[in-house]
Structure 1
């Protein structure tokens, strides 16, 4: 990495740390009240992080995936909802950047994201697709020169607070459920009718209510690229890397508390380790494993960037798909180990060593696109692939 790139990454991280301080100050209230983290969102805008990944020639900073993952990790240590909101926004931005270059309308939106710090939400889940984002019921329809979309979404995370929505739909009324396109709508293009609330165990600040999305726009608001390509080359790898970084940040926040508790207990006992010290060691190990998995995936993704064949290859898709499964489960076990390290002090919600919020938030990780569905789909995809004959194959 060049000296300039190192300096830019350090600047981004310093700004992320400033935002994380704001997010941490309000995290308890966000969770308790189940409200959107307005303060953290405003801080992201102030520090111009929402447009960080937009290319430099379109007014952004061209931030790398490594830099974005580091920010998700930093935010996860402070406020899980803030981290997940940032991760989902940047996933949508990545889809526009990687598949919308050369399209005047899409590039104009990217310029606005950078200049106005617009927050983009994602709508991929419908009421009848069971979380399978590779099939859609709602279709893009033509109305004269316009396109219209009527979509019943089980969840649209922070839909009411977003400045725009990137959504998937069938290409036409006649298209198969898997023949999908990606559409971009700004707030003036749509209305939302609330279909359900968001009273959940954790991740309450993402405000992922269900909505009926009624949108109208121009033909140019549908990306030319096939969604199948967007999904395999960008949506899946970027979301899995950034989600995993956010979940690992949550785990790191819990390990912080377990370390503080263990040190305090040892000082009070003349250097004798408390009974839960074994679990603290396990928490540290789990965190290191998760970070290593993300690092490997980042390296592999960045090496394949610009090579659609490499990104779509079964080996890469298997690795990037399993990243989500493995890190989500590691994050849960790591936070649980931190809870056991702290004992009652971690179980209580009224002390400095409380871990309840971290545990409730991270429990969403294995069921946010259910791990069982992911593994079952992967098993089907790999049935006809030959088993490696050697360690080097």
Structure 2
């Protein structure tokens, strides 16, 4: 793949060396994002006519998985960028896509809200027509890359149409936008996921993505599959890194009184084996889900839903096993396992949460709609 050499260089020279500081300082990975933009990685999924790479979910998940082996925060920034780019592509937002394709633009999703929490499909924020402009008011609760993104793919209630949602592209820095507080979370500490408030923010009617009221359809058909696959790939990459770090610790650490390495102890080896099996099993599921999407298979929707749910659980379980297999050393920052353990906790509460995905999978298996009709 033409992007892979540059991606590897950026990970080795920029992302991995900065990962510990990104976590400890809660610092946004600006150098990595700039390098990924300049190398064409941020524009990888933009259609070729707009200057991008024209590649699909397979390439995007490969990028995110590799980034996640070094730094989950950087991987999550790129995940949200690619997911938002999918909305812009589906609605033909040429001006922004050209900027992304040129490596000059970072975008992100602004879906989650204080009023509806993880139920992103039922926004309570409003859009009100005022001549040729639209006034947006909202309390967005978690927006990745909030201070560094150049634009937000923004959800609101429709202007006038039926339906629960409309989508907009909102340039960062608009009058009326504010970003209260700072992100100080347990894990993913460098992804800068902040509240974003809109108080009378004015955008043009042409900033509407798709038709008024059609936002949920766009979110479910264009955005959600990308987000779920990319988020799952973050989990797989994290699990791969934790498994590799555990193997390195077990083989490189000795019990001097027994003249044996930790790898020669059966309980530790068994835990490592479980870690690798879980990681490979989930990686295979994600790869099959990507293939199903690319091939337009009938089981694509089900597999995409399964992929994130499985990866959420695998990342947490593998990190738990690593903490146990490596003992006290894993609880200290001298090993990268402690950081990955904290990062692994985020995915299960990131909408759609693991619980919600289990419900979606069950609904799909029973032939029920994924979402109840709003009251």
Q: Which runs of 5+ in 1 are unaligned?
A: 1-8, 305-309, 386-393
TM-score normalized with structure 2 length: 0.89
Alpha-carbon distance between aligned partners in 1 of 2:260 and 2:182, rounded to the nearest angstrom: 51
Question: Over residues 68-113 of structure 1, what are the superposed CA-to-partner deviations in whole Å (9 max), with x where a residue is unaligned?
Answer: 111101100111000010011001111211x223xxxx11211111
Q: 1:382 to 1:361 in 2, by over 3 A?
A: same
2:285, 2:303 within 8 Å by CA — same for their partners in 1? no
| Partner in structure 1 of residue 183 of structure 2 | 198
| Partner in structure 2 of residue 254 of structure 1 | 242
1:80 to 31, 54, 72: 72
1:91 to 83, 86, 94: 83
2:40 to 48, 54, 62: 48
| Partner in structure 2 of residue 273 of structure 1 | 264
- 1:187 equivalenced with 2:198 (yes/no): no
Q: 1:325 to 1:189 in 2, by over 3 A?
A: same
Q: More displaced, 12-21 or 78-87?
A: 12-21
| Partner in structure 2 of residue 37 of structure 1 | 29
3-state SS of 1:205 partner:
coil
Residue 190 of structure 1 deviates from its aligned partner by 5.0
Alpha-carbon distance between aligned partners in 2 of 1:338 and 1:142, rounded to the nearest angstrom: 54
Residue 20 of structure 1 deviates from its aligned partner by 1.5
Q: 1:66 to 1:381 in 2, by over 3 A?
A: closer
1:196, 1:211 within 8 Å by CA — same for their partners in 2? no
Alpha-carbon distance between aligned partners in 1 of 2:39 and 2:86, rounded to the nearest angstrom: 19
- 1:336 equivalenced with 2:320 (yes/no): yes
1:236, 1:320 within 8 Å by CA — same for their partners in 2? no
| Partner in structure 1 of residue 110 of structure 2 | 123
Alpha-carbon distance between aligned partners in 1 of 2:50 and 2:223, rounded to the nearest angstrom: 21
- 1:100 equivalenced with 2:86 (yes/no): no
3-state SS of 1:185 partner:
strand
| Partner in structure 2 of residue 390 of structure 1 | none
2:10, 2:36 within 8 Å by CA — same for their partners in 1? yes
2:39, 2:103 within 8 Å by CA — same for their partners in 1? no
1:347, 1:354 within 8 Å by CA — same for their partners in 2? no
Higher helix share: 1
| Partner in structure 2 of residue 363 of structure 1 | 345
1:276, 1:343 within 8 Å by CA — same for their partners in 2? no
Alpha-carbon distance between aligned partners in 1 of 2:287 and 2:175, rounded to the nearest angstrom: 39
Residue 257 of structure 1 deviates from its aligned partner by 0.6
| Partner in structure 2 of residue 6 of structure 1 | none
Aligned residues: 359
Counterparts of residues 285-324 of structure 1 (less than 5 Å)? 285-304=277-296, 315-324=299-308
| Partner in structure 2 of residue 376 of structure 1 | 359
Q: 1:16 to 1:340 in 2, by over 3 A?
A: same
3-state SS of 1:140 partner:
strand
Alpha-carbon distance between aligned partners in 2 of 1:198 and 1:64, rounded to the nearest angstrom: 31
Alpha-carbon distance between aligned partners in 1 of 2:9 and 2:255, rounded to the nearest angstrom: 31
Alpha-carbon distance between aligned partners in 2 of 1:372 and 1:270, rounded to the nearest angstrom: 43
Residue 213 of structure 1 deviates from its aligned partner by 2.6
- 1:282 equivalenced with 2:261 (yes/no): no
3-state SS of 1:212 partner:
strand
Residue 378 of structure 1 deviates from its aligned partner by 4.7
TM-score normalized with structure 1 length: 0.85
- 1:57 equivalenced with 2:49 (yes/no): yes
| Partner in structure 2 of residue 151 of structure 1 | 138
Residue 166 of structure 1 deviates from its aligned partner by 0.7
- 1:140 equivalenced with 2:102 (yes/no): no
1:321, 1:374 within 8 Å by CA — same for their partners in 2? yes
